[in-house]
Amino acid sequence: MDKEINVLALVKGEEKFIFLFDDANRDQTLRQLARYAANPELDFSWYDAAMLSRKIRDAVPSDEDMMIDNELDNLSLEDFK
């Protein structure tokens, strides 16, 4: 098996959310987080989705994520005045 699988888990009370994803289905996993957060029957908040999304983006950065990170790295305090 030469394909890397990432595992991300969240346990909230009695509910357990386990996500398995690789580079190919990263975006599908991010969309699934949003669907879970929008479902009022689940104890899965938008905060949970945001935190797990950050972990996914850190684990499997896209070209766009890397471009944004580079732009943010180049900002200084002078840019906010």
pLDDT per residue as tens digits for the range 52-80: 999 998 887 766 655 555 555 666 667 66
Distance CA 27, CA 16 (A): 21
What is the residue range of 30's domain? 6-80
Question: Is 44 among the domain residues?
Answer: yes
22 within 8 A of 3, measured Cβ to Cβ: yes
Question: Is 1 among the domain residues?
Answer: no
Number of independent structural domains in the chain: 1
- The distance from CA 7 to its chain's CA centroid, rounded to whole angstroms, is 12
pLDDT per residue as tens digits for the range 13-50: 889 999 999 888 989 999 999 999 999 999 999 999 99
Question: Is 20 among the domain residues?
Answer: yes
